[in-house]
Amino acid sequence: MASLPITKHVEVKKMNKKLLATAVLAALTVSTVSAFAAPVISGDARILAQKNDGEHTYIDTRFRLNADAELGDDIYAHGRIMGIDKQGPQYGLNYAEAGTGLSGASINIEQMYIGAKIGMVDIKAGLQPVEVGHGLLADINGIEGLSLATTAGNVGAYGFAGRSGTDDVVAAQLNTTVENINVGANFLKKESTDYWSINANTKVATNIKLAGEYVKNDTDNKDGYLVKATVGEVAKKGDFNYAVSYRNIDTGAVDAGWTKNGAFADSKGFRLEANYKVGTNANLNLYKDFVDQVSDPSIHPDQMRAELTVNF
């Protein structure tokens, strides 16, 4: 192959240097822009069929959309909106009349906060979830306030202070691992009512887990507990597990609107549950209660539910 003349060779080298400089500049520009790139979008959709004892079966459809953005210097933003068509007599809504186009659906902002990681502390300010323990004490979204979370070794700590409606809210959680048992202590104060709980969970065999939580309303001197055994894993498509739980929860021991499942309040008895991994991002949950109302054992507030959730 013939070589280039010296002048052409010099021009090519200069051109290559320009191209290299341009490429480096472009890379730096892309790197800078990527730090403030569009938010990462994720979410989930579900359809739920539920039958409460003595009531009509109703269908609940829900769609949630998350947006997460890194703002640089360990500062981030998170938001989540939820659209839901929750209908049934117990919610004061009727099902849509055919041909009207009316669904009774509502859209609201469930979460919206700014976060910052300062050393070992994660700080969040804004509309956020409050979940302490296994959810028997509190598992709720959309509480305005400030939270701090940190982990040191195998000890984790969480604190929250905010407001829900007209109620001042304070929550705290401390958890650790002793041998192969995860244990936690939790506190919740809603205005003038104090609640606390202790919880534990462990794996006793390859596919067998045990969990339990005790909760007490210190203000009204009411308490309750829930224990649960789960067999199996739902890690991949086709997997399933099943569980049985028993609960005995006094009236007022938990806040029905804040506990993980409102059916837990004022109830005593068993729940049979199963989960099936329909697909990589899809799960089917089924459960059926066999319970009595603690305050009036002649009432059986059984709940039966089938819920399909798809994450994306």
CATH number at residue 64: 2.40.160.10
Distance (Å, whole) CA 124 – CA 277: 33
User: By residue range, what is the domain housing residue 10?
Assistant: 1-33
22 and 42 together in one domain: no
pLDDT > 80? residue 26? no
Q: Which among 167, 208, 209 has a CA at the least distance from the CA of 189? A: 167
Q: What pLDDT sits at residue 107?
A: 83
Q: Which of 1-15, 159-173, 269-283 has the least mean pLDDT?
A: 1-15
Amino acid (one-letter) located at 202:
T
Answer for the pair 129, 140: CB distance below 8 angstroms, yes or no: yes
Per the confidence metrics, is the pTM higher than 0.95?
no
Question: At 163, which amino acid appears?
Answer: R
**Three-state DSSP state, 306:** strand
> How many structural domains are present in the chain?
2
The tokens for 135 are 């959810």
What's the token pair of residue 264?
């837990």
Q: Rounded to a whole number, what is the largest CA-CA distance in the chain? A: 102
**One domain for residues 6 and 148:** no
Mean pLDDT of the chain: 86
> Is residue 11 located within the same domain as residue 121?
no
Confidence of residue 12 (pLDDT cuts 50, 70, 90): very low
Q: For residues 312 and 40, what is the distance between their CA atoms, to the nearest angstrom?
A: 11
Q: Which residue intervals of the chain are DSSP H helices? A: 6-34
69 and 121 inside one domain: yes
Same domain, 90 and 180: yes
Same domain? For 114 and 22 the reply is no
